[in-house]
Structure 1
Amino acid sequence: MFKGIRFKFITIYFLLVFMAMVIIGVFIIQQFEQYHLDVVRGNLTQIAGSVMTTLEEIDWQNNKEEIQKNISPYEKMGMEIYVIEKNNDFTIISSTNLSYWNQNAMYILDSDLILSGFHGEIKEKDIVSSQENQRSSKNMIFPLYDEHSRITGAVYLRQNLEDIYRTLDQSKSILTRATMLALFITFVLGYFVAKSITGPINDVTIKAEKMARGDFDQVVEVKSDDEIGQLASMFNYLTARLRTVLQEISNEKKKMDTIINNMADGLIATTAEGKIIHANPIALRMLKLQGETLTNKTFDDVFSSLNKKLTLGFFEEKKKWYGNEIIDVEGNVKLRAKYAPILRENGDLEGIVVLLQDVTEYEKLENMRKEFVANVSHELRTPLTTIKSYTESLLDGVLEDKGLATDWLNVINSETDRMTRLVQELLQLSKLDYKKSKWNKAEIDINEIVKNSILKLEVSAKNKKQQLEYIGAEEAIFVLVDKDRMEQVVLNILSNAIKYTGESGKIKIKVHQENNHAEVIIQDNGIGIPSQHLPRIFERFYRVDKARSREMGGTGLGLSIAKQIIEAHDGEIEIFSGEESRGTRVTISIPLVKRELAYD
């Protein structure tokens, strides 16, 4: 309480009024006392002059009765007049107080004052006593001279000052009570004045404290237009601005959190000491970490086991704060970690931010691209090598042997057809990839497409003494497809079944309707596909047995084209196979045509 500004205000006002009243009181009492003493001095001087004039007119030393007669009237005025004769005893020869006649003045009156008077000085002395048996008085002495200017006596006057000092004491009492009243009024007024000043300040302080705790809905009441009112208005303006700025910051933070938490890449931020301060859900998923366990781990704990170059020590040692590294995570997942520093305004390092990108598919696609280029090069190089070698042999003279030349030209023609077929299939894949294929879709019975495909490959199956078993639907199943393209898919699957099924094998073809879809199932009992190859069976140029596939004339693009065509018709194609020599089952699913019911 005593440290508060309100107490300080009251204390200052109290001291100011107290000091002012004390100074004023002392000045007034002194002036009042001095005034009355001057009045008494003047009266005594005037009376002394009158008495001395009277004494000069008479032979005062020999006419004591005459002196007494002249000074007696002054007794009623409250003055004491003593006429002292100059002799060895300083005898009082006349006095307004008859009890002091003929007594030694040195024992009754002030001796110092008497001696000064008989030395020719007009002198006065105030005797102020606090004792009850003594009185306060003003004493003055005037020397008397004869005709030869010799001091022959003195007139001693004494005026009682009790009334004056009693009046002064009453004045002091009045001033004291006035001072106490003024101090009380000052205290009360000071309290309210200080309250009017400190009240808004306390209000601002309380509401500022609430704002410090996070409650920004604070408004201070403006009660005046003075500096305090301006402070309150400025506080309200500051609160409104702060609320607006915090809302903008909160909105920006929410936007940033939404972007970071929903971005496709992982993000981890750490301080310069290695404490992880942020990790979005994608980063936790990529690194297979839990948010709870991450709080107890440092940056080096997370990344040092994945890549030794992703540690703060390595960054500090190499002075390399920008870069990227590839890290391997469980499950054959590859991540690219791009890192960059977080710098303060003065350039000091504040932390590190790491961006994690899942490049598993990219790496896989890159490998597929390299493999694709290698396969295309190999597929083209083989027939080109054959054509070139046979052509050079023909040019070297084999052309004259018509029989051998005819055989070699047939080989050249076959290899040319093989290259043409490969290029055509690549062009078809390119058009499918870039959505440039033209589709002649029409409603057609899927049974018709399957029957036509079986009819075209029936001879090939008979040549291998294979049995083709067709189970068609009892009713027509209409689908919206490009007939030629769909027949191409069925021919490809069926030809693969014939090609990879041994002699006297069995191939079963079934068509039926399943959940608003038309399904074509081609099941063989051929060599089958190992399970580890099934995930990649639709990749371009991918072969389970490359040497044997090339011997059978395959390009490795048929299944890729088939998958593209089926997906372009919003369908699905799946291949199932167990162990080797257990056969393969291919399922093709195409949506049925949506028909509206007609009512008569």
Structure 2
Amino acid sequence: MRQSFRLRLAGTYLCLIIIILVISGITLFNLFKDYYIKNVESSLIYEARLIAEMIDMRSEKPTPQNLQKVCQVTGKDTNTRVTIIGQNGVVLADSLYDAAKLGLHNTRPEVYQALKGKTGVEIRYSTTVKAKMIYVAVPFTGMSAQGVVRLATPLLAVEEIYSRMWSILMFAIVICGLAAFGVSLIFVERISRPIGNITATVREFAHGNLHKRISYRREDELGVLARTFNDMAEYLENNIIEISEVNNRLETLLENTVNGIVMVDRSARITYTNPAAVELLGESIQTRGKKHVEVISNYELVETIDKVRQQLQPIHKEIVLHSMGDRIIDVNVVPLRGNTFSGQGVLVVLNDISNLKKLEQMRKDFVANVSHELKTPVASISGFAETLVAEEGQNPETVKEFSRIIFDESQRLTRLVSRLLELSRLESEDRELQIEEINVDQLIQDTINMMQQRNDCKDKAIEFSKTGAPVVINGDSDTITQVLINLLDNAIKYGSEGDHIAVSLAEEKDQIKISVEDHGVGIPENEAERIFERFYRVDKTRCRKTGGTGLGLAIAKHLVENHGGQIGAETISGQGTVFSFTIPKNI
């Protein structure tokens, strides 16, 4: 059971006061006792000497009757027992008892001292009187007689006085003790109150309330203690605020980074995962406290973590997550060193590089396609030009045919370069749109009319399904026209001879949808996702015959996205394709 500091301190003061009072009382009691006995002793000595002088002054030798009378008279006057003892120790007279019945007294200590001419004093228990007595003996050496006068008085009165004094002293000790205890309580209260306030405030510190301060302004030890606690609280508060800010920044960084973060402790249990790690490894990774082998389904990643835990060496590698759509993950696994993990925990950093790998492959394909596309017309131009040089004008028909081929290939090369420049411009910077009010029905019809003037569209019919009322939007007419031209051009090139192309317009909530449908060869399902990539062709042989560059759909995709819309394709291989794009009504 916890004891109060105040009670303990007050009890200590009370014990000290009682000890001091008891010691002081005993000392005073002994001093008074000694003083009283000395006073009785002096009085007895004085009276004994007076009696001895009375005996010395007699000229004749005193008789036993005279000595007995002296003893009785002086004993009555002094209220003491008076005994006269001869030189040989025989009791000559006694004020209280029959002298003849008293034995020799020369062996009594006080008598023995008096017989030697000294004053004898002794306190002892008297077997005759059956009480504690104080004895004083003085010698007398007169002409008529020699011996010892002894006075004795019982100490019963002294003992009674002692008892009264002791009672009074104990009463005084109790009264003083109670008074001192009350004073000590007040004193302790004055001392303990600030200590209690300091304790309460420190307890608030322990519970996290570091804003509270101790109010104690005196320049003493408690004041120094209070200021020290206040300084400590301020220091801790500033440190906690700083640590909290760092922790919040770190938590925000970890929660919003694109890298997956997984922490595994020394017992191989998951202690932390951020949202990116959950997105990469699946929902099961959120279960903290379980072993990593229970929640990570990729064996290679588990093996890598175990290897780092055993060897305490970092590992950097690429891992394919087959269960998460064949994602390619750049993995960094490093050991965590320090007192907390004792060098046995690991940090796993996951970076999804699937898109980077895809972009890298696209870059390689782009370089290869550009090289091929440039090489083909350049080779044709070079070959036919060399033939023309060799002909030297001998065969005009051949010169004319080869010149036409050189012209066509140079035009094809020009279109390719122009398309590349246009695509590069779209990808490198946002095109500034020229917003105006557009009658979409009229824009589609004008574009169809323009396309039907082309030679390669003579054998194809383009049909436009109009809506009831004209559709009017705010947008960039050149952008929409260019997209529609690219889609119609694609439908014309890949459609069958005599086929018809259907163009439709639909109004949705806050956008319009334009669709171009052909009945050509269609697009295989496994290649549908790549048709908007640069230089990608479903039928490369057919594309070269039609003079396509493989950039039209890629350009259309960028134009639509710059206009805030989306483009897509629905196709059934061998039955045709429907290309559709949406444009916001107001941009």
Residue 402 to residue 225, structure 1, CA distance change in 2 (3 Å): same
Alignment of 1:98-247 (within 5 A): 99-106=97-104, 111-128=108-125, 134-145=130-141, 152-191=146-185, 193-194=187-188, 196-198=190-192, 201=195, 205=199, 212=206, 227-228=221-222, 231=225, 246=240
Pick the aligned partner of 1:522 from 497, 507, 516: 516
Residue 455 of structure 1 deviates from its aligned partner by: 3.6
**Cα separation, 2, equivalents of 1:401 and 1:133:** 184
Confirm or deny that 1:583 pairs with 2:582: no
Please tell me the residue identity of whatever aligns with 1:75. Answer: K
User: Quick check: 267-276 or 303-312, which moved more?
Assistant: 303-312
Shift of 1:350: 7.3
Asked if the contact 1:117/1:123 (under 8 Å) is kept, the reply is yes
Deviations 1:104-159, CA, capped at 9 Å, x for gaps: 4437x973443444355432211257x996333221223344679xx942222223
Cα distance in structure 2, aligned partners of 1:449 and 1:194: 100
Contact 1:524 1:583 in 2 (8 A): yes
Displacement of 1:478 in angstroms is 4.2
1:385 Cα offset (Å): 2.7
Q: 1:322 to 1:509 in 2, by over 3 A?
A: closer
Identity of aligned residues (%): 26
Q: Secondary structure at the match of 1:124?
A: strand
Q: CA deviation at 1:311?
A: 0.7
Alignment partner of 2:538: what SS? coil
Indicate conservation of the 8 Å contact 1:465/1:504, yes or no.
yes
Match of 2:91 in 1: 92
* Alignment of 1:78 onto 2:75: no
Q: Give the C-alpha shift of residue 182 in structure 1.
A: 3.4
Given candidates 402, 409, 413, the residue that maps to 2:395 is 402
Q: Aligned partners of 1:38, 1:515: CA distance in 2, in Å?
A: 128
Look up the match of 1:598. none
Cα–Cα, structure 1 residues 462 and 300, in superposed 2: closer, same or farther, change >3 Å?
closer
Alignment match, 2:313: 320
Contiguous gaps of at least 5 residues in structure 1: 595-600
Equivalent positions of 1:339-418 (< 5 A) are 339-344=333-338, 349=343, 351-394=345-388, 397-399=390-392, 401-403=394-396, 404-418=398-412
Q: Distance in 2 between matches of 1:313 and 1:568?
A: 49
Asked if 1:504 corresponds to 2:498, the answer is: yes
Distance in 1 between residues matched to 2:466 and 2:2, nearest whole Å? 105
Q: Distance in 2 between matches of 1:571 and 1:300?
A: 44
Query: Is residue 2:47 matched to residue 1:47?
Result: yes
More deviation, 56-65/134-143: 56-65
Secondary structure class of the residue paired with 1:278 = strand
Aligned-partner Cα distance in 2 for 1:482–1:407: 43
Cα distance change on mapping 1:252 and 1:336 into 2, 3 Å? same
Distance of aligned partners of 1:52 and 1:348 in 2 relative to their CA distance in 1, 3 Å threshold: same
SS, match of residue 523 in structure 1: strand
Residue of structure 2 in register with 1:454 after alignment: 448
- Aligned length, in residue pairs: 584
> Following the alignment from structure 1 to structure 2, what is the Cα–Cα distance between the partners of residues 117 and 427?
150
Cα deviations across residues 488-508 of structure 1 (Å, max 9, x unaligned)? Answer: 433322232222222232222
Q: Distance in 2 between matches of 1:550 and 1:444?
A: 36
- Pair 244,457 (structure 1): closer, same or farther in 2 beyond 3 Å: closer
- Report the Cα distance in structure 2 between the residues aligned to 1:259 and 1:102, rounded to whole angstroms: 123
CA drift of 1:240 comes to 6.6
SS at 2:131's partner residue? Answer: coil
Tell me which residue corresponds to 2:419. 425
Paired AA for residue 136 in structure 1 = K
Kindly tell me: are residues 474 and 132 of structure 1, through their superposed partners in 2, closer, same or farther at Cα, counting changes over 3 Å?
farther
Query: Which SS does the other structure have where 2:549 is aligned?
Result: coil
Change in Cα spacing, 1:398 to 1:135, as seen in structure 2 (3 Å) is same
Q: Does 1:559 align with 2:553?
A: yes
Contact 1:303 1:311 in 2 (8 A): no
Change (3 A) 1:341 1:185: farther
Q: Which letter does structure 2 place at the counterpart of 1:356?
A: L
Residues 443 and 480, structure 1, Cα contact 8 Å, conserved in 2: yes
More displaced 10-residue stretch of structure 1: 303-312 or 171-180: 303-312
Where 1:586 maps in the other structure, the secondary structure is: strand
Question: Aligned equivalents of 2:150 and 2:475: distance in 1?
Answer: 154
Paired position in structure 1 for 2:326? 332
Q: 2:305, 2:346 within 8 Å by CA — same for their partners in 1?
A: no
Return the offset for 1:537.
1.2
Q: Please report how far the alpha carbon of residue 171 of structure 1 lies from its aligned counterpart in structure 2 after TM superposition.
A: 0.8
CA contact (8 A) 1:270 1:352 kept: yes
Between 1:280-289 and 1:223-232, the stretch displaced more is 223-232
Q: Displacement, 1:24? A: 1.6
Q: Is the 8 A contact 1:269 1:353 kept in 2?
A: yes
Distance 1:500 1:376 in 2: 22
| 2:379 match: secondary structure | helix
- Contact 2:112/2:120, CA 8 A, preserved across alignment: no
Q: Structure 2 length as normaliser, TM-score? A: 0.84
**Which of 293, 299, 302 lines up with 1:305 in the alignment?**
299
What SS is found at the alignment partner of 1:413? helix
Question: In the alignment, residue 165 of structure 2 is paired with which amino acid?
Answer: S
Greater alpha carbon shift after TM alignment, 470-479 vs 13-22: 470-479
Q: Which piece of structure 1 moves more, 164-173 or 136-145?
A: 136-145
In structure 1, distance between residues paired with 2:83 and 2:394 = 189
Residue of structure 2 equivalent to 1:492: 486
- Residues 114 and 141 in structure 1, CA contact (< 8 A), matched pair in contact too: yes
Do the aligned partners of 1:197 and 1:228 also contact (CA within 8 Å) in 2? Answer: no
What is the CA RMSD across the aligned residues, in angstroms? 3.9
- Where 1:311 maps in the other structure, the secondary structure is helix
Q: Please tell me whether the aligned partners of residues 478 and 593 of structure 1 are also in contact (alpha carbons under 8 angstroms).
A: no
Change (3 A) 1:270 1:191: farther
Separation (CA, whole Å) in 2 of partners of 1:74 and 1:463: 171
Task: Output one character per residue of 1:532-572: Cα deviation in whole Å (capped at 9) or x when no partner.
Answer: 22222111111112232223221100111122223333344
- Is 1:541 matched with 2:535? yes
SS at match of 1:106: coil
Instruction: Summarize the Cα distance change of 1:591–1:143 in structure 2 as closer, same or farther, 3 Å threshold.
Output: closer
Secondary structure of the residue aligned to 1:504 is: coil
Instruction: Work out the CA distance in 2 between the residues paired with 1:206 and 1:177.
Output: 41
Q: TM-score, structure 1 length as denominator?
A: 0.83
